[in-house]
Amino acid sequence: MKKVFFSISILLSFYIKLVKMVSTIANPTVPAQLNWTYTAEDLKKLTEKIIEDGKKISKQIEEIPDDECSFESVIVPIGRKMENEVDAIESNIDFFQHISPNKDIRDASAECSLKLQEFGIELSMNKKVYQKVAKVIENIKNGKFKAPENPEDKRLLEKIDLDYRRDGLALPDNKLDELKELKKKLTNLSIEFSRCIGEDKTTYVFTKKELDGLSEDFFENLEKTTKDGEEAYIVDMKYPSYFPILKLAKNENTRKTMMRTYGQRCKPNVDRLKEALALRLKIANMLGYPSHSHFKLETKMAKNPKNVLEFLQNLKEKLQPLAKEEIKKLLELKKAEKDELHEPFDNELHDWDFHYYNRMLIEKEYAVKDDEIKQYLPIKEVTEEMLGIYEKIFSIKCVEIENPAVWHPDVRQFEIYDKKSNDYMGTVYLDLYPREGKYTHAACFGLISGYDKEDGKHVYPVVAMVANFSKPTATKPSLLKHNEVTTYYHELGHVFHQICSNTKWSRFHGTHVERDFVEAPSQMLENWCWEPEVLEKLSHHYQDKNKKLPKNLIDSLIKTKNVNAAISNLRQIFFGSIDMKLHTMEKEDKNLDIIKIWNDLRKEITLIENLQDTWGIATFNHIMSGYDSGYYGYLWSEVFSADMYFSKFKPIGILNPEIGEKYRNIILKNGGSKDAMDLLKEFLGREPNNEAFLKSLGIN
């Protein structure tokens, strides 16, 4: 929870500058179009003003007499001033560091975000405010004031009280001061860790010969140079370069060199992570928890480390026998190729081999080639068809804004409306291509969370999806590989979780659910990308829009869904396990070698050895950006995503708007205003189970 106060006067002055009002096609609600022309100095001034006025409002709450502390006098102002009105502004200030083309603005955004997070920590440690919250609960118990009747109001009171207690407000004052400083240090480390990855400019020069196997369009966006007198190219470590080389480069040493260079980025992050681990453990101990994982999991569906470790161990044991068979099959391909090339065969599937022989297996046994399939998946047409599918399933309309005011010419803007009522639901931005300084992965950023204002009117969500798909070239549009289409579908799932949500308080809006459930709605929607009717609908050959993916290609592609699924899922188990191993430690180890732990655990779990002279953990951003003791959640939530899809959508019809609308109104609309388990039970009509999940992995 961001406990940053914001006065009404500052909010109004901010919106005079921030929000440009535009016309609506349906109702009195006026969609807000954000202004992206802020300078670095604007961000700094706004941040200072937020902090200045926040301190004044904090003082006002502290001075409420104890006998006047009620839900209306204390909790409502906290919900409105500390959360609803401020979170949107903080999110916008923070967003610039991830997307602005201007480095000065990115730096200012990061600096301001750090200040606001530190200020949020300071306010979350305000014992006088917490004492007023505690007094509200006491006054309600004593019958002086009524408890809130609205279930979401009641949940707000419970969660605010829990947050304050987990923030250490029961500690003596001197310990609170220490805790505050520890959290500030931790925040700073997290920002430095992420910035190091985002601004990494590592490159490697490969000759054209070394890149044999790559298609010609791969070279169109690369800078030419020479190496040892030969034609060569400067290759960065971004995904559009990294994965094609691992999949297609025939030269094994090229793949190994690419993986080594990729794995040797951001070495200073190793020490940052070690320091963060020590800080997290110290904070957990101060709050009465034996480890950081015990603290983090208290508010998750999993509840405790034991449940998570058993979950991961059980999956590992069931998947490893199958993974050994998959590795054996890939080694047969490797041996055949080495024999044909008259090269020595070492009978080892290396890390840099997997993507290459996995691709070869798919092409040979299933006649599926990424380069062939992507000809039918130009990003513009895929986007239109994908949005059309979401429109049908969720009974919504997506209206693109012409000549939008955005932060970069590549960005597209859409307003979303309810199909039946024509009511405005929110705004979506799509920023899909890589550029220098931009966030390097695919993600959904909530810029404004929905909530009810004091006058009863609703503030609607604004969401941005950021990705790094290959740029269009002079001769071809951006063409998506099938796995990129799946990523696109997944992130749009987060987008529409935000858009379709409608809650009274911003802290419960959209994806603000238990962290180990947050991926379930998006993971469920990935299943559509493996359905024949959806693949046929999405596909349009870039040279002939009427030409669809041939049925034989679609059938072959679908058969690849679970190819080497055990290896892939063991990789996810590895990420979840390294996260848990580091965060279940109950004593600080000053000699902790996290690089060795990373490399050893990788071999133990995935059965594939990591390059020993690399430090992949230095770019494992999840562990420093909110997924600490939470990475297991990707697999955990897959249990529920599989149950929802195979139990409800698959039997009735994957594009059936009736079940889609039920899903929207139960799972998406409620956001985190109810427990995820209760929403699942309501949607499924029973207790959720793992049968569909295990079946989807090929486990009986």
Name the residues annotated as catalytic. 491
DSSP string, 609-657: PPPTT--GGGG-GGGGTT-TTTTTHHHHHHHHHHHHIIIIIHHH-TT-H
Tokens of 76: 């409502």
What are the distances in angstroms from CA 186 to CA 172, 180, 282? 21, 10, 11
| Summary count for the chain: helices (H), strands (E) | 27, 12
Helices (H), 173-251: 173-198, 239-248
Q: Are 525 and 489 in contact (CB under 8 A)?
A: yes
Q: Which residues of 109-141 are buried (b: 16+ CB within 10 A; e: fewer)?
A: bbbbbbbbbbbbbbbbbbbebbebbbbbbebbe
Return d(Cα 459, Cα 330) in angstroms, integer. Answer: 53
Q: Which secondary-structure segment (H or E) carries 32?
A: strand 32-34
Q: Are 450 and 75 in contact (CB under 8 A)?
A: no
Closest CA to 160 of 84, 79, 90, 73: 79
Which residues is 21 bridged to in the sheet? 32
Q: Are 293 and 285 in contact (CB under 8 A)?
A: no
Task: Residue 550: count other Cβ atoms within 10 Å of its Cβ.
Answer: 13
Q: Are 414 and 399 in contact (CB under 8 A)?
A: yes
Q: Are 161 and 134 in contact (CB under 8 A)?
A: yes
What are the distances in angstroms from CA 586 to CA 93, 316, 379, 591? 36, 24, 48, 15
Return d(Cα 621, Cα 265) in angstroms, integer. Answer: 12
DSSP string, 277-319: HHHHHHHHHHTT-SSHHHHHHTTSSS-SHHHHHHHHHHHHHHH
Q: Are 298 and 166 in contact (CB under 8 A)?
A: yes
Return d(Cα 551, Cα 557) in angstroms, integer. Answer: 10
Return d(Cα 163, Cα 512) in angstroms, integer. Answer: 14
Closest CA to 86 of 41, 120, 63, 60: 120
Which residues is 445 bridged to in the sheet? 464
